[in-house]
Amino acid sequence: MRASLKQAPTLTSLTRIVASIVLLCGVAACGYKGPLTQPPPAPPDASLTTPPPPPDNISEEPATR
């Protein structure tokens, strides 16, 4: 009967080691979702990329003082 009691702690130790390795691998891989890159920015609005029209009240003559 003593022989079976000596084998039980060895099996328990092996089970704990295997369970620890499996848990460690699971925790180490749980945060990996892919490369850490940001998505490309959205293109700017068309109204922001075209220059504003010139004002109507500008005269063609140079300014004099």
- Mean pLDDT for back-to-back runs of 10 residues, the chain (65 residues): 55 88 83 74 81 73 65
- pLDDT in the model for residue 56: 76
- pLDDT in the model for residue 47: 75
Roughly how many angstroms between the first and final C-alpha of the chain, as a whole number? 116
- pLDDT in the model for residue 21: 93
Write out the DSSP string of 21-53.
HHHHHHHHHTT--S---PPPPPPPPHHHHSPPP
- pLDDT in the model for residue 45: 82
